[in-house]
Structure 1
Amino acid sequence: MGASTWSACCAPSRRNRAANVWNDRRQSSSESGDAIMKSERILERLRGLNDEIRRQDPRLHEEGMAARSGQETGTLEGLPGGAVESAVHSESIVMRRLRPVLAVKGGTTELAFADPAESELWKERLAGAKEHLDRAIRAVGRVELQGGRLDWVGTGWVVAENVLVTNRHVAQEFAQRRGEGFAFRMGSQGLMSARADFLQEIDNPAALEFELLRPLHIEEEPGPDVAFFEIKLTSGDARLAEPIKLSATIRETPAVATIGYPAYDSRIPEPDLMLRLYGNVFDSKRLAPGAVTKIEQTRLQHNCTTLGGNSGSVLVDLDSGLAVGLHFSGSFLATNYAVRADVVEDLLRRVRSGRTRRETANPVPPPAPPVRSKAAAPQGASGSASLTIPLTITVSLGGQAGLEPPARRWSGAPTEPDDGGGESGGEEARPEDYRDREGYAADFLGETVPLPKVERAASDVLTYDNEGQQDSVLRYEHYSVVMSRSRRLCFFSATNIDGNLSRKSARVGWKWDPRILKSQQIMNECYGNPPRFSRGHMTRREDPGWGDPVTAKRGNEDSMHVTNATPQMQAFNAPIWLALEDYALQHAREDDMKISVFTGPYFSDHDRPIYGVRIPLAFWKIIAFIHDETGRLCATGYEMNQEQNLPSEEEFVFGAFTSPQLGTAAQVPIHTIEMRSGLNFGPLASVDPLTGQMEGIGEAERPGLLALEQIRFI
């Protein structure tokens, strides 16, 4: 090919160059708009939290007002969103004043704040509690591992002469129940071991390590998130610090502090804000003052600033120096949770007396899910017994014996896995054929449950022309989908289900959605007969199939759009995963039998391409409904991992996500799904019975669901 021909083929024309410039500007404008919206959400969150802290602690109010006024008169740089960024910066200063994170050096709190605008009140409070804090600081260590996948996993502290207390989900990373006792786990190079380093301070290269000799007790779920270890009393010439005494009086107070080891947390959707608050210093002993804001039956809520790695931190009362709680979880800049100190003390007393038999280990168990009068309960069920049915997940298709979903009044049945065949379901539709599709209804349950918002990857949301307007929601009969432009798969599929009006319909073939380009969808490529993938429904085929016969048929057929499918190995659709919606309907309000379901894949940088498509390794599901017993909105979250079912010739590394047993479903906190997926589920995380569960560096193993009765709805 001659030079002139090369130039004609490859050099962009003036029109193309102009189009490219316009597209670049449009993309830049879109990304700028996304950044502004994100900053606005952060600003709203910061202001709300700062205002709440002021209401709880009037003495801090006057100090905070000076910093707040600065944001209103601050100089803007004239850039798009500059005013918002300036306000976020000013509100961050307020946050660092109201809830500072202080360094611990030489075994004492360093009363040097990150900002010139220091808090005189916190200086006064912390200086007055110096003796208490210094004593507690010496007793708090970082739990470090040998032979495991992580170097360290959380925080622990000396609670008795030779006993270290931490969280269950920290302990489960390296220890487990064995028979009626407990033992260390096997690692990649043999039996794992653990120690606690009580120095690990900023700019301090020294170490003060005490060996964890054996696990004494790991409390089983749904009991409090507590574990005890016997710890060696001496390390060379050093002796273990004095224990931190436990308070028997738990009260709301504006003056407490956590002591622990915050780690950089990649799950937090506001990493820049995290860096501002922590000064980009992690993994070392820090002290964060705050308040106890609410007392519950077995736990308390507090608002000290924490991150993953703080799991197992002590919560110290500044007035008495006593421990009032064992921190176990938190949602960044929202609410933190700690096991009450009197609950820890009661459990420790029973461990030492040998009264923690396995079947009675939980001192305050939550109420069991109610058994509906119109649903057949498992045989032999009673108010105090549970039925656990063994289940092998890697069964062949059709081998679902051993799990029978509870009887139900609606006519749906667990979705059959797709066989991967068939490209089209007959005549292709036209965009105008979808004008009457209303899609997911936010008010379906009687309370507003909006569609999730794509936050982390907002610029990747696929839009289309909807009668002259740009739209991002593909609406079908009783369900809606939002697509990823880069992955050509849905971020999520959301559906409403009315179990009272469900109807069975014949299955049709898969079809394109004519409202978006075929190049933005996946019909074949990775799909087909084994070893290729099945088209796995996100919204199950029968879920939108309800209403009058015509509407139900349309809902069933609409579910067969490839926009509602993701690549799944056929063995992935385990019986429990398929039966979650059915089971939730049994706990929906009696007179409605309605639920809303959100399902989607986790998109990860670790997803590897097979047959030209990057295959999601794990999926999430959230179910919302009005609970039959409480009459209130309830939502539960679940995860499932298909990594073990993927072709063995391909190498897959999932990274941060670990499931208790690959291929099993697990109930997880909705805020965990939010952090991993980058989606915002609005009010649902606040009505999740697992709210406040698990905050750690690595994800400790979570028990898989072997029976539907294990699900917590309240």
Structure 2
Amino acid sequence: MSGISKEERVSNLLTRLTPEMEAAVQEALNSGRLPESLVSTLSSESLKALKDGAGLESILGDGTLANLEAIIKLVGRPPLLISADRVVMEPLPELPQETKGLILKAEKWIPSVGRIEFRNHRMAWAGTGWVVQHTGKGSLVVTNRHVAKLVATRKPDGTAVFDRSAITGARYGAAIDFREEAESKPDDTSRTAELTKVKYLADDAAADVALLLIEVADFTLPTPMELIDSNVSLAKGELVALIGYPAYDSRNDASAQAKYFRDLYDVKRFAPGLIMQPAASGQLLTYDCTSLGGNSGSPVIRLSDGKVVGLHFQGVYKEANTAISAATISALVNGERPVSVLMQGSHSEAKDGTHKPEWFSKREGFDSQFLKTEKTAKPLATPWPGLPPELAEKLAKPSDAPDEPNELRYTHFGVKYSTEFKLPLITAVNIDGEASVRIKRGTDRWFVDERIPTQFQLGEKNFKDALIDRGHLVRREDPNWGSAQQAEQANFDTFHYVNAAAQHSRLNQGKALWQGLENYILDNARTHGFKACVFTGPILRDAASEEIELVIDGAVAAVEFWKLVVTLNAAGDALHATAYVLSQGQLLRKLLEDRSRRETLEGFELGPYRTFQVAVADLAQATGYDFKDYASSDPLAQIPLGQEALARGEPVFLPIETLDQIIL
């Protein structure tokens, strides 16, 4: 860029970023590198663009780089300011003489265009939207997919919902501000409406469109914009205009931006221009209206009648801006969906089934005498951890009266299930690595276990939300050992709803290490016999605390999980127990708070889900469970640093980035 240094460009950029983004960009400038929090989300192409000073506006939420908006002509295409829904006119010598009069006639559509703003997101806003249809007391709003997907996600069936923050777990949201003009006051929200549902979010292989719904507003919603009829032909050189919210965009020449925008960005503008290429078979609609980052989702209107001819979605500097045709938008508004979406949504899981009590005959469940060798006179017992009385009294009571109280017995594993939370509180599985049988996963079908009342169990209806996963607590592969028949039966047994925890989908980010713990420990030379007993469960929060778990049909979706892996030591004559949590830090913060540690007030932050190795004694305190049979077998309590921490009352926890960091 001419006439401005890299430092000045970044300084200009910083004035237009949210506070959360400022520190990251300044760090990139000062140190010549990007912080890890950004590196992990950006593609190599995006990283190069940032290091070259391209600016954050050119990077989408998924880390891909794209030319989204652009200045096409360096003179003669001023983006006119809007004040009180009226265009602030400037000389237009490069456009036809009738342009001013046509702009004045088109002003009636200005109130129908708004800025797409976000809730609970690091970005305050990201693009433009406009009303295309009234629906009951609300309205349907059109914008781009690449704008909406910053806060929304597609489900496998092609529908979409608002996503959750990977950091805080808070549900994202969106709104549309139909004002946000140059003279608007910061507290003017009189024309801001919440966008409460995502009616359509295009797949990446479909046109860049999203449809969001205003269900109700406390003001009269603006008139829907009119789409041009599909049988009306456009002509090269016809007058058109963009209505939207251009933001500073470092992909465009700084001097050209300064000339056109005079350092006033992020407000509503009316940008006239001419059609360069009408939409035709195999050709996109292009035009030379001036746009910048923030114009994504702007309507392109024909000035002769004010009708929408396209949805702006991208451009190349000094070449052309491009729109999605009105015909495509009309089809989507009328409920038509691309064939690719229909194909992706056509798959359905097998319907739920049910198993009568007699089906489970001869299931032996978890074997607490499983760990034994020729060096031990008798097996080293691995009893179930004890539950607090208030949890134990709400456990389901299986009709087949197991020897272990409240155990639902399956092949090589057992479950203790809470009727209060509709959640397995503890699962226990025996794993024999040397006798493992690999079973390919087929079509999933989940079952109700009729040994306990069905009203306490979840079903497929509880997992319609794309943000809630049906998570095995006993991994499907873990009990699959022994004879082929036993392994098949064990694999099948894991697909019972009493073994399924409702989990936030964000936990998947941390599951790679979490799911490899048992295999790593079994394969490690310091274990004996390649056998293990693994206990797993959710970490429940006090209902009165600030950490509220999502409730679906009376079921708790826990935000953290614990795991205890018990093996024999290398000599084969004693237990070896290691404990882990899959966490965003809530458990660790609670331990620090309980012990009056200052860390909770001094920037304690762990970010997205991570795996931690923790002391068994600390896990006992955090959960309220009784792990007395295993605390003395914990290697963390035996190393000098662990002993010192425990003596000082500090929790012992190790962030696990790679499996070889585990203390065995």
**Is the shorter-chain TM-score for this pair beyond 0.5, marking a shared fold?**
no
- Structure with bigger gyration radius: 2
The TM-score with structure 1 as length reference comes to 0.37
